[in-house]
Structure 1
Amino acid sequence: MTEAAQNLPLLLAGAKRWFDDALTASMRAAGEQPLSSAQGQVFAVLDPDGTTVSELARRLGVTRQTAHQAVHGLLALDLLEQIPDPASARSRLIRITPEGARVHRRAQATLTVIEEALADRIGTDAAAALRTALTLPRGEPPVVEAP
């Protein structure tokens, strides 16, 4: 029996999992507290002056509760802090702490090395083509009818 080819979303999810696993293992080996994938993604969408949890949720494409859980864990690790939002007395901004910035820089440097390891395995041309393909504009998601 022939196994059906995996669809692109499954392949992309598998590739992301490979990067997440490599980053987690590498950070743990370096003596850093491992973060969940969701916690790591928070750093990628934070504004330098701070971002509300609601805005983080929107940028991450998750519920406010999910974003709050990720942020709460990072607050407990002293990687993020809450400050009053000068634009709204009811809101608080989440921003990175100096320790969070240090960990984020280390994670970014580690990801660079992991990308180099991938390029060694699949070839530099394939890695460059993959990066190019994933950064091309895709436009709005299409609404299609199945045949």
Structure 2
Amino acid sequence: MRSTSRNLPQLLGDARRWFEEGLLAALQAGGATPVSPTQAQLFAVLDDQGTTVSELARRMGVTRQTAHQAVHGLVALGLLEQVPDPASARQRLIRRTPEGDRAHRQAGVILERLEEQLAERIGRETVDALRATLEAQWGRPPSPPPPT
């Protein structure tokens, strides 16, 4: 029998926070510049060649203002920079600085370690099955039913 107390989006959110908290704690313990969860999420959705603030906001599921604030905080820390977008004179691209690249690589190593720790706790087969499920093509979200 399935428990109805927590829905799947809540459980996925908890899983994301588990990784996020582990990442931020490991970065802090390693002496890295402290960042907020929103700033860490921004790093995760940033393309190597640069991304506009509007696109970052869309990928993060936040307002443009929230993404802009996170970008400015990371620019002030020297982890991101704003450069002209060659495709549009009106837009700017956000990209990692060399220090931001170093931090991004460090975060990748930490996330691999966290995944290994998770596999030790719940089993490698379970983690592999979870990964395969999340990597599967789910298709577009279903359309809402017509009003009755």
Same fold (TM over 0.5): yes
Count of residue correspondences:
143
Provide the C-alpha distance between the structure 2 equivalents of 1:118 and 1:18, rounded to a whole number of angstroms: 10
Residue 34 of structure 1, CA deviation: 2.5
1:78 aligns with 2:78: yes
Does residue 67 in structure 1 map to residue 63 in structure 2? no
Deviation by residue 1:68-121 (Cα, 9 ceiling, x = unmatched):
011111101100001122232222211110000000000000000000000000
* Partner SS for 2:82: strand
C-alpha RMSD over aligned residues: 1.6
SS across alignment from 1:18: helix
Identity of aligned residues (%): 60
TM-score relative to the length of structure 1: 0.89
Cα 1:125–1:85 shift into 2, 3 Å = same
The alignment status of 1:25 with 2:25, answered yes or no, reads yes
Q: Secondary structure at the match of 2:93?
A: strand
Please, which runs of 5 or more residues in structure 1 have no aligned partner? none
What is the distance in 1 between the residues matched to 2:70 and 2:50?
Answer: 15
Partner amino acid, structure 1, of 2:82: Q
Could you tell me how far 1:10 is from its partner in structure 2?
A: 1.0
2:56 is the counterpart of 1:56: yes
Which consecutive unaligned segments of at least 5 residues does structure 2 have? none
Q: What displacement does 1:4 show?
A: 4.5
Q: How does 1:1-147 map to 2 (within 5 A)?
A: 4-143=4-143
Residues of 1 paired with 2:51 and 2:95: CA distance?
7
Structure 1 runs of 4+ with >3 Å offset = none
